[in-house]
Amino acid sequence: MNILQIDHLGIAVNSLEEGQAFWCDIMGLKMAGTETVAEQKVTTAFCPVGEAEVELLVATQPDSPIAKFIEKNGGRGGFQHVAFRVANIEEALAELKAKGIKLIDEQPRLGAGGCRIAFIHPKATGGVLVEISERP
User: What would the mean pLDDT of 121-128 be, rounded to a whole number?
Assistant: 96
User: What would the mean pLDDT of 115-127 be, rounded to a whole number?
Assistant: 97
Task: Report, in angstroms and rounded to the nearest whole number, the Rg of the chain calculated over CA atoms.
Answer: 15
* Dist. CA 25–CA 65, nearest whole Å: 27
pLDDT class for 118, splitting at 50, 70, 90? very high
% of the chain at pLDDT higher than 90:
99
pLDDT class for 5, splitting at 50, 70, 90? very high
Task: Give the chain's domains with CATH numbers.
Answer: 3-134 (3.10.180.10)
pLDDT of residue 103: 98
pTM attached to this predicted model: 0.93
pLDDT class for 21, splitting at 50, 70, 90? very high
* Dist. CA 61–CA 26, nearest whole Å: 28
Q: How many Cβ atoms sit within 10 Å of the Cβ of residue 98?
A: 8
**What are the beta bridge partners of residue 44?**
35, 57
pLDDT class for 109, splitting at 50, 70, 90? very high
Q: What is the pLDDT of residues 47-73, one digit of tens each?
A: 999 999 999 999 999 999 999 999 999
Residue 94, helix vs strand vs coil: helix
Q: What is the pLDDT of residues 87-97, one digit of tens each?
A: 999 999 999 99
